């Protein structure tokens, strides 16, 4: 009888030790999981400029940014990296706050709406605005995007094209074109490269923010008209 009791106690102790080991391993695995982070590009914390009523002879133009065109591999929320030539990888714990085209579109609009005195000359249409009020529409295409990570930080390289489209243009009512600007319908291109130092993924987001600001400035500098008419 005593031998049986000893065997039962041994088996119970072994089972308890086995399951406690499994529990420790499981908790260790959970503790080693990297936290998921979400990033955005919008300058949400920056103060918006005061609304300025346009003069009667210089009405504000309504501009609309059409949905961005991007390579298929960017139509996701995961951050895209290129750890080696001809190789694309998605960062498993680093995400944009929404799919990259939507995130970049929000970032561009945020930059343009913070332009000093912009409301006296133009305004960017909100999503629910009537499209008939548009004076110009803007189509932006990201031809290529390369994001590179290394021990010192990250770099992003973009090839971008865009064109302005005049809406409901009628003969004889064209506004004066600004000197040195391309007329609506003409495609323009640019190359953008930005690098940031620090923890690789945070540096990639910072470089992308800088690239977004650069692109916003270049596109705004190509606006063909100062007023609608």
pLDDT tens, position by position, 114-129: 876 565 667 888 766 6
Q: State how many domains the chain has.
A: 1
pLDDT of residue 4 exceeding 60, the answer is no
In a domain, 60, yes or no: no
Residue range 10-29: mean pLDDT, rounded: 46
111 in a domain, yes or no? yes
Whether residue 47 is contained in a domain is answered as: no
**E strand intervals along the chain:** 37-39, 61-65, 78-81, 89-96, 122-124, 136-150, 153-166, 188-197
Residue 70 falls inside a structural domain: yes
- Positive or negative CA dihedral for 119, 122, 126, 128? positive
Q: Which two tokens stand for residue 138?
A: 């803007």
200-220 vs 100-113: helix crossing angle, rounded to 10: 50
The CATH code of the domain that includes 93 is 3.40.50.10610
> Which pLDDT value is given to residue 41?
85
Tell me the C-alpha distance between 139 and 133, whole Å. 17
pLDDT tens digit sequence for 169-201: 554 456 666 656 677 778 999 999 999 999 999
Q: Which domain holds residue 145?
A: 66-229
Q: What is the pLDDT of residues 40-90, one digit of tens each?
A: 886 554 444 444 444 444 456 788 999 999 999 999 999 999 887 778 999
Give the per-residue pLDDT at 56.
Answer: 45
Is the residue at 209 inside a domain? yes
Q: Is residue 59 part of a domain?
A: no
Pair type for strands 78-81 and 136-150: unpaired
Q: In this predicted model, what pLDDT tens digit does every residue of 211-226 receive, in sequence order?
A: 999 999 999 888 887 6
Residue 141 inside a domain? The answer is yes
In a domain, 14, yes or no: no
- Asked if 163 contacts 182 with a C-beta cutoff of 8 angstroms, the reply is no
């Amino acid at each position: 009888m005593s031998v049986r009791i000893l065997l039962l106690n041994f088996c119970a102790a072994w089972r308890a030790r086995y399951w406690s080991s499994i529990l420790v391993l499981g908790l260790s695995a959970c503790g080693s999981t990297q936290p998921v982070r979400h990033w955005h590009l919008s300058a949400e914390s920056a103060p918006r400029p005061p609304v300025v009523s346009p003069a009667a002879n210089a009405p504000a133009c309504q501009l609309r940014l059409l949905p961005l065109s991007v390579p298929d591999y960017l139509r996701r929320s995961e951050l895209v990296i290129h750890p080696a030539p001809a190789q694309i990888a998605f960062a498993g714990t680093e995400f944009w706050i929404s799919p990259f085209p939507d995130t970049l579109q929000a970032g561009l609009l945020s930059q343009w709406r913070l332009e000093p005195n912009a409301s006296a000359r133009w305004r960017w249409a909100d999503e629910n605005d009537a499209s008939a009020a548009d004076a110009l529409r803007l189509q932006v295409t990201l031809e290529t995007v390369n994001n590179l990570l290394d021990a010192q930080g990250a770099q992003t390289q973009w090839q971008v094209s865009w064109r302005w489209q005049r809406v409901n243009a009628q003969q004889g009512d064209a506004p004066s074109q600004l000197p040195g600007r391309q007329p609506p319908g003409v495609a323009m291109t640019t190359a953008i490269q930005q690098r940031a130092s620090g923890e690789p993924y945070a540096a990639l987001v910072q470089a992308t923010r800088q690239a977004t600001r650069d692109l916003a400035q270049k596109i705004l500098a190509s606006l063909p008209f100062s007023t609608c008419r």
